[in-house]
Amino acid sequence: MRLTVFGTGYLGATHAACMAELGHEVVGVDVDPGKVAKLSDGVTPFYEPGLEEVLRRNLDAGRLRFTTSYPEAADHADVHFLGVGTPQKKGEYAADLKYVHAVVDSLAPLIERPSVIIGKSTVPVGTAAELGARARAAATAEVEVAWNPEFLREGFAVQDTLRPDRLVLGVDSARERADWVAELVREVYADLLAADVPYLQTDLATAELVKVSANAFLATKISFINAVSEVCEATGADVTVLADALGYDARIGRRFLNAGLGFGGGCLPKDIRAFMARAGELGADHAVAFLREVDNINMRRRTKVVDMAAKACGGSLLGANVAVLGAAFKPESDDVRDSPALNVAGMIQLHGAVVSVYDPKALENSRRVFPTLNYATSITDACDRADVVLVLTEWAEFTALRPEDLNPVVRSRSIIDGRNCLERARWRDAGWVYAGLGTP
């Protein structure tokens, strides 16, 4: 099939490349000529394992190309995926839909034959219906809007696109062409459906709520174990062993029960806040009021680590040398949006410390957000003469660290494990002062 994908950020570029990998002829569209040029050369503007190989393979095969031209895209296909960002509005919790509206407003007048716009972006419930009316008012041909939310995990995005754990499609069943829309989407994903990927067809509102509800649940699970870790810290209990015990309960499961610095990134924080904002607009704010405490617990973990760093430096960070290992919000990503690690590094610097940050992939993005921090080129460079070392992103090269790797370079043998990812006995046996979150 011939498809377009509007937006070539993390979601859009991944979806475009993977749809081409499934055999479709795909045009990726973006208003940023720089992004289009990079992608056309086979270079991703962000780090995602395996994506560049898929991108280059399909560029070389002629199944994938990128453009800034909306007329070219409108002429190319009848199936248009919408994968632009929906960031948090400045000064508000609500999602900013200006990029979504811009695509629809620019594309719809160019559509000259029956077409469908399929949303992938995470949007407030009710957006799809509004976009449908908006598109039909501007188009000269029949236009339908459906919603097919993404469930990508950074670091596993290619896998999650080519072999997702489910496909959800929301359609407006009141529209005459609803069955036509569903059939088109089933054709797009024919290989996945043949591989028995679960497929759920819903109304528009349900499809919009699936993604944000999933993110709210995961955020709640993470904040739950972090709330328990606060009790563990007050009692001397061990949250890691407690989480293992909870995880054996099939109703609960072990995943996302890792106490530590908490969640960040471009999805969970802004999505739960947008969920709260939309619920308030619908008069149902009481139903998700608990998410405010989920958010509060998550942010408290960051200030807790800053306090732990000050304690490790004798009660004050003024003039201390602090090594921060990790800047991305999670390993296998260069994404620093709302990164707990980078947030903590910035707060520690504001307390008067000299902060040296090292991350295997996220240094360039970090410099754009916090240009005043010092950025190291290696672990040993970051830890040179450090009074305390903070492990804040669980990259494999950090979890594999041994005390003897750092003994010759640090000024003080003190380490804070912000992800509870190190073997604390090894560090303590080697004479280090080890501190974790929710652990004795």
* Fold match, 2-211 / 238-436: yes
Alpha carbon distance 345, 325 (integer Å): 10
Q: What is the pLDDT of residue 140?
A: 87
pLDDT tens-digit map of 114-157: 999 999 999 999 999 999 999 999 998 999 999 999 999 999 99
Residues identified as active-site: 267
154: its two tokens: 């950074």
Q: Are 181 and 148 in contact (CB under 8 A)?
A: no
Measured in Å, how far apart are the chain's first and last C-alpha atoms? Answer: 57
254: its two tokens: 């072990």
Radius of gyration of the chain (CA): 23
Q: Are 277 and 96 in contact (CB under 8 A)?
A: no
Q: What are the sequence ranges of the domains in the chain?
A: 2-211, 238-436
Q: Nearest 5 degrees, angle CA 7-CA 9-CA 12?
A: 55
Class of domain 2-211: alpha beta
Q: What is the pLDDT of residue 364?
A: 96
Q: Are 283 and 289 in contact (CB under 8 A)?
A: no
Roughly what angle, to the nearest 10 degrees, separates helices 290-312 and 268-281? 150
32: its two tokens: 């940023």
Q: Which amino acid is at 237?
A: A
pLDDT tens series, the chain, 440 aa: 999 999 999 999 999 999 999 999 999 999 999 999 999 999 999 999 999 999 999 999 999 999 999 999 999 999 999 999 999 999 999 999 999 999 999 999 999 999 999 999 999 999 999 999 999 999 989 999 999 999 999 999 999 999 999 999 999 999 999 999 999 999 999 999 999 999 999 999 999 999 999 999 999 999 999 999 999 999 999 999 999 999 999 999 999 999 999 999 999 999 999 999 999 999 999 999 999 999 999 999 999 999 999 999 999 999 999 999 999 999 999 999 999 999 999 999 999 999 999 999 999 999 999 999 999 999 999 999 999 999 999 999 999 999 999 999 999 999 999 999 999 999 999 999 999 999 99
Topology classification of domain 238-436: Rossmann fold (3.40.50)
